[in-house]
Amino acid sequence: MLSHKDNERITQVGAGTPLGALFRSYWLPALLSEELKPGGAPVPVKLLGERLVAFRNSGGKVGLVGEFCPHRGTSLALGRNDDCGLTCIYHGWAFDTDGSCTNMPSEPDYSKFKDTIKQKSYPIHEAGGLVWTYMGPAEEQPPFPNLIWTSLPDSHRMVAKVYQECNYLQIWENEIDYMHAAFAHLALQEQDMKEGALSTELGINPSHPLVTSRNPLLTVEPTTYGFRNMFVGQSGEEDQFILEAPILMPSFAYTPRVKEEDHLFHAYVPIDDHTTWSYDIHFTLDRPLNHDTQKERRGLWVDENYRKLYNKSNNYQQDREMMKAGNFSGIVGISNQDHAVTESMGPIVDRSREHLGTSDVGVIALRRMILRSLKRMEQGEKPLGLDPDIPMDKIYSEGVIAPKGVPWKEACPLDPAFAPVKSEKAKSGQDSTVAETI
């Protein structure tokens, strides 16, 4: 369990909070590229408790600026997307994508007033079907993390976005928790799996090693970007099933997979302390992705605002009859099942009341990583994953099946490029690794 103080430290993301400052050290997804049309309507964006507005000008360039006009405070989400920039409908003040005031028709022609006005704006980078932004100090802006899926063609990638009614950490912890798959995602009958799918809308096959493995080894391994979350279970009489999932700061994760399954990346971006944008990126490296299969396994249907149709208000359409024979939870869709369990905890779960067990190794490691990352930042050290020499495009999940008895670190070795550097004390066994966060 955590103290109330530590629970606040790892959940509160607003301006002026330690975690808010940590998140602002990284590039974060702000919205889908497809949400912005050249010259189209601006889109309200709330990130880390801050109200912003995004727009794509007629030339195709994207801007992310403060929502409220610096003149009298009218929302620029109502603004005109004109050639001169995003124009406030109140008095016609206009702003370019970098926040410069380009027009102030309410002032005399000779006035230089507009040259003194600068609207807050954040840098933008488009990659992988997403508009990313960096919200930290300009002098500390890191290079964009070229993740393995960001440069893939659209045929090999599917990007989805959904609104979640809880703190980001509940969602991220669920991603770390391997053991919930054997319950929340369990299908109670065998299914015909389509190519590249771990599950169908009913859940995971009861014969899958995530379900059948008894007393699996759950462990973690520190890396320069966060840690690897490991699951070692049985696969038949002779083999062991080794899953790895890279967990990346500040709130990213790859889902564990074996070779026949598609890849899946998650980004959990805080809107504020109580709500989150979840981005799911399904991708393949060597063939086109079956988009229909992945949409089916997600089981999420959203409206034009990316809000779930199956949600708390209708109990996620839980079906008690299907619960008896179809799937364990009675809820359709693997992602919908995840949303139900994390949102039902409330906006921010009180971790001081928990009773963690041996299956919660990854969850404990995640919390320790965040707390130690905050301490590193407060001591003036660079947060995890921001070293420009880290080859981010080499990070992905690749589970293996190996003969029993082979050590998991040997069967699924860590790429030396991601191995933490040890201090002199650590080399002598007197201290932990410099990059260790768990």
Question: Which is nearest to 246 in space by CA: 271, 266, 273, 262?
Answer: 266
Condensed to tens digits (0 to 9), the pLDDT of residues 337-364 reads 889 999 999 999 999 999 998 889 999 9
No. of helices (H) and no. of strands (E), the chain:
10, 20
Domain residues for the domain of 66 are 27-140
Any domain includes 18:
no
Query: Domain of 237: which CATH number?
Result: 3.90.380.10
Any domain includes 419:
yes
pLDDT higher than 60, residue 140: yes
Any domain includes 4:
no
Same domain assignment for residues 169 and 306: yes
Buried b (16+ CB within 10 A) or exposed e, 189-212: eebebeebbbbbbbbbbeebbbbb
Any domain includes 21:
no
Residue with tokens 């006035």: 111
Least confident of 19-28, 89-98, 183-192, 371-380: 183-192
- Euclidean distance between CA atoms 297 and 1, whole angstroms: 33
Same domain assignment for residues 135 and 162: no
Condensed to tens digits (0 to 9), the pLDDT of residues 36-48 reads 999 999 999 999 9
The percentage of the chain sitting over the pLDDT mark of 70, rounded to a whole number, equals 87
Same domain assignment for residues 283 and 423: yes
Same domain assignment for residues 107 and 203: no
Condensed to tens digits (0 to 9), the pLDDT of residues 268-294 reads 999 999 999 999 999 999 889 887 777
Q: What is the mean pLDDT of residues 13-35?
A: 97
Same domain assignment for residues 115 and 172: no
What predicted TM-score, i.e. pTM, was given to this entire model? 0.90
Amino acid, single-letter form, for residue 27: W
Q: Rounded to a whole number, what is the largest CA-CA distance in the chain?
A: 85
Any domain includes 9:
no
Query: Domain of 41: which CATH number?
Result: 2.102.10.10
- Euclidean distance between CA atoms 255 and 244, whole angstroms: 8
Same domain assignment for residues 49 and 192: no
Number of folded domains that form the chain: 2
Q: What is the mean pLDDT of residues 67-72?
A: 97
Q: What is the mean pLDDT of residues 74-101?
A: 96
Any domain includes 433:
no
Q: What is the DSSP string of 250-270?
A: TTEEEPP--TTBPEEEEEEEE
Same domain assignment for residues 354 and 406: yes
pLDDT higher than 70, residue 373: yes
At 435 the pLDDT is 37
DSSP single-letter state for residue 426: H
pLDDT higher than 80, residue 307: yes
* Distances in whole angstroms, Cα of residue 426 to Cα of each of 422, 431, 432, 433, 434: 6, 4, 5, 6, 8
Least confident of 159-168, 229-238, 386-395: 229-238
Any domain includes 338:
yes
At 156 the pLDDT is 95
At 309 the pLDDT is 94
Looking at 140, 165, 197, the residue that finishes a domain is: 140
Any domain includes 407:
yes
pLDDT higher than 80, residue 235: no
pLDDT higher than 80, residue 421: no
